[in-house]
């Protein structure tokens, strides 16, 4: 992990780049019209500084699902989700800070078999996480152009589905990014649940799920994309959904809510 300590990290989105000087460099993730450069300008930090300023907390979201978050919040306020599974744990998305306490916490629960991403707004310090746990990083090939710091653990996947481990399957849904994906976890005694990152955005009321090109810039998706996503999701059974932020947990009835939300766009 030490070799990455001085690599620059964008303070607005949390993406780490393989260089130690951010002068004359603008974060490509933030300059994209799905994100933004803050009015105060582009600023950088690094992992060594993050470890001094930010702790990491964990929360049991449901049986077999642990939330991992920076405290105080950093960048977009991302959370990572650790899916515990007898056939090997999956780290769903990453956060920029990494420290010894969270590494020990995850190791005590069996480590990480693979890291899988919903989309580029979570890539952050993915190479550090993969290096620590010596595991592959699964990214859909449609988002390859957004990998600016490609480490040896990155494995691109193709097509619409990838079985990651046991009952866990990645589904490429698209929309927000061409490779936007969800992770579906099938369960023996309960209906399946999905982790979706920004593929669907749960409103604070928890009465609506949005699917947008950009959430911070309020740029919608074309209607044809919404219709395609709606049809695609009809073939994927699930009952619970866990989104980008810590308030975006829907423990029951998430599929019906998604259907009525997407219907509203149409
Ligand atoms: Zn950025
Ligand atoms: Zn996003």
User: Do β-strands 55-62 and 181-185 pair in parallel, antiparallel, or remain unpaired?
Assistant: unpaired
CA of 200 to the centre of ligand 2 (A): 10
Q: What is the domain range of residue 224? A: 2-265
Q: CATH code at 182?
A: 3.60.15.10
Total number of domains constituting the chain: 1
Q: What would the DSSP string read from start to end of 67-102?
A: EEEEES--TTT-EEEEE--TT--EEES--S---HHH
Ligand with smallest separation from the Cα of 27: 1
Residue 235, helix vs strand vs coil: coil
CA distance 33 to 36: 7
CA of 12 to the centre of ligand 1 (A): 5
Q: Give the pLDDT of the chain (266 residues) as one tens digit per residue.
A: 667 889 999 999 999 999 999 999 999 999 999 999 999 999 999 999 999 999 999 999 999 999 999 999 999 999 999 999 999 999 999 999 999 999 999 999 999 999 999 999 999 999 999 999 999 999 999 999 999 999 999 999 999 999 998 799 999 999 999 999 999 999 989 999 999 999 999 999 999 999 999 999 999 999 999 999 999 999 999 999 999 999 999 999 999 999 999 999 99
């Amino acid at each position: 992990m030490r070799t990455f300590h001085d690599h620059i990290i964008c303070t607005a989105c949390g993406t780490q780049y393989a260089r130690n000087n951010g002068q004359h460099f603008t974060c490509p993730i933030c300059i994209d019209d799905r994100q933004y450069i803050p009015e105060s300008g582009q600023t950088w930090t690094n992992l060594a500084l993050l470890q001094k300023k930010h702790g990491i907390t964990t929360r049991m979201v449901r049986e077999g699902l642990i939330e991992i978050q920076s405290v105080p919040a950093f960048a977009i306020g991302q959370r990572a989700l650790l899916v515990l599974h007898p056939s090997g744990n999956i780290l769903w998305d990453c956060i920029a800070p990494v420290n010894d306490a969270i590494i020990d916490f995850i190791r005590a629960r069996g480590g990480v078999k693979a890291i899988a991403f919903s989309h580029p707004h979570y890539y952050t310090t993915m190479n550090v996480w993969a290096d620590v746990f010596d595991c592959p990083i699964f990214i859909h090939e449609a988002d390859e152009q957004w990998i600016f710091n490609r480490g040896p653990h990155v494995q691109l996947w193709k097509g619409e589905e990838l079985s990651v481990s046991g009952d866990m399957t990645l589904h490429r849904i698209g929309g927000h990014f061409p490779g936007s994906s969800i992770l579906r976890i099938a369960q023996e005694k309960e209906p399946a649940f999905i982790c979706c990152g920004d593929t669907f955005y749960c409103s604070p009321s928890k009465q609506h799920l949005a699917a947008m090109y950009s959430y911070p810039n309020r740029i919608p998706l074309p209607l044809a994309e919404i219709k395609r996503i709606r049809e695609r999701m009809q073939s994927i059974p699930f009952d619970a959904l866990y989104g980008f932020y810590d308030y975006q947990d829907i423990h029951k009835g998430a599929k019906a809510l998604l259907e009525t939300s997407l219907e509203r766009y149409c």
